[in-house]
Each structure stands twice: as C-alpha cells, then as structure tokens.
C-alpha cells in the first residue's frame, strides 16, 4: 500500500490541520443532534400489539417503565430463515451500550415481521440479550415505511422520506424513536433510515481511523465484507469472542 511518508514534525503539522476539521465536524454534529431533538412530534393513535417470547405486548409495554424508546427495524421477513447480515452487524453492538442507556431512561427493542419463533432462535444463535418482538400481526412496519407489499413495490416505495424505486426486497432497515408521557400518550419523535444509522455502529468509527478504512469496493456496500459473526472463515489469527451479554 503506497502512501506519502514524511517526518514526525510534518506529520504533527498535518494532524493539527485535520484536528481543526474534526473539531468543526464535532460541533456540526452537536448542532444537528440538537435540531433532531427539537423536531415536532406525532401522537400515536394506533394500538399496536406485538408478539413477544412470553405472548402479546403493546407498544407501551416495550418502554419497560421508561419514558423513551428506540425501535430498530431489523430486516427479517416472515419467509427468511435468518436475519439480515447488515442488521446483525449493527445488533452485535447493542447489548454493551444498552446496559448504560437503560439506566438513562431509554429502552431499546428490535422489531421484525418474522414470527417470534424464528426471531428467538436467531437471537439465541447470535447470543443477543436485547428484547426482540414480532410485528407480523400488525401494520407497524408498513406504517413506519420499512416493509412493502409486492403491489406497492411495483410502483416504487416511500422510504427515507421520499419516493424510491422498487428496492427488490420486502423489508428495509431503520430506527424510530418514541416518547411516552406521564399521561400514557405515546409520540413518534424521530426516524432514521439507510445510512442514517451508521452513527450508532461503533465498528465503523474504528474502521474509519485505519488506512484502508471500511475496505468496501462496491460503492460503500457493507455486503463486500460483513458476515454474521458466526459465519466468518477461520483464518487462524482472529481471536473469537462471544458477543456482549452472551
């Protein structure tokens, strides 16, 4: 791998220049986060009922006594035999942080259309501890624009806040945030789709520091390299560890 080689003094000068840009980006990120929190809210009028491991649960139940809820729209259609590799990559990085933000009034759950038996089997295979429920019996995925019927896809779909061409699959990723008021009212406060969720993937932050970056060839497609954590080939060098919470 060819790269410019300089003296230590030149490297420090270049790093200082980059640091100034990194600080400016950090301040811009803070500004956007404040605008995100200031978005108007929409009251949830529908009574969504999901299927959990122990039976039916409501949207209110998913808050688990907290006032804030993050729902990750995990791509797992009813006919699939395993969850999306990219969603699995993101989900590998949830249980560690979850132990902290649950103590800061935030609950986190994954929601997919696959039946609960498939979700539970896959969750156990992956070693995850977070809550995962099925929305197969309600309109939740459709209402939050992450699942699409065949006839809908033929005319394009509404995804990431705009009309898009047929995605060629029925389910797409996203995250939605909700707030539950003291009177029990639930509000939709924010949603993010596609690459909008990269900021919560810690592995990307580390990879973006190294010379080869994410090493993705196909226009930034994680499918170039990401596999389910139990599906990477053993190259004899990688130390295998259990996912957080396993």
The count of residues in the chain is 246
Task: Output the pTM of the full model.
Answer: 0.90
- b/e per residue, 42-68, with b = 16+ CB within 10 A? eebeeebbbbbeeeebebbebbeebeb
Between β-strands 68-73 and 174-180, what pairing exists: parallel, antiparallel or unpaired?
A: antiparallel
Render each residue's pLDDT in the chain as its tens digit; 246 residues: 789 999 999 999 999 999 999 999 999 999 999 999 999 999 999 999 999 999 999 999 999 999 999 999 999 999 999 999 999 999 999 999 999 999 999 999 999 999 999 999 999 999 999 999 999 999 999 999 999 998 889 889 999 999 999 998 999 999 999 999 999 999 999 999 998 988 888 888 898 898 888 887 766 677 788 888 988 888 887 665 555 444
């Amino acid at each position: 791998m060819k790269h410019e080689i300089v003296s230590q003094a030149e490297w420090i000068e270049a790093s200082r220049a980059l640091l100034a840009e990194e600080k400016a980006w950090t301040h811009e990120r803070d500004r956007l986060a404040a605008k995100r929190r200031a978005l108007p809210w929409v009251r949830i009028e529908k009574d969504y009922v999901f299927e959990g491991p122990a039976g039916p649960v409501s949207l209110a139940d998913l808050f688990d006594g907290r006032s804030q809820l993050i729902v990750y729209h995990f791509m797992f259609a009813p006919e699939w035999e395993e969850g999306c590799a990219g969603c699995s990559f993101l989900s590998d990085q949830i249980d560690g942080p979850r132990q902290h933000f649950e103590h800061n009034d935030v609950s986190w759950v994954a929601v997919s259309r696959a039946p609960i038996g498939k979700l539970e089997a896959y969750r156990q295979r992956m070693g995850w501890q977070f809550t995962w429920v099925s929305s197969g019996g309600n309109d939740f995925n459709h209402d939050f624009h992450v699942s699409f019927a065949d006839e809908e896809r033929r005319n394009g779909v509404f995804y990431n806040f705009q009309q898009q061409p047929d995605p060629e699959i029925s389910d797409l990723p996203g995250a939605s945030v909700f707030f539950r008021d003291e009177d029990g009212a639930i509000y939709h406060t924010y949603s993010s789709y596609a690459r909008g969720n990269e900021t919560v993937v810690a592995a990307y932050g580390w990879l973006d520091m190294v010379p080869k970056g994410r090493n993705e060839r196909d226009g930034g497609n994680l499918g170039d390299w990401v596999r389910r954590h139990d599906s990477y080939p053993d190259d004899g060098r990688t130390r295998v560890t259990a996912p957080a919470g396993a």
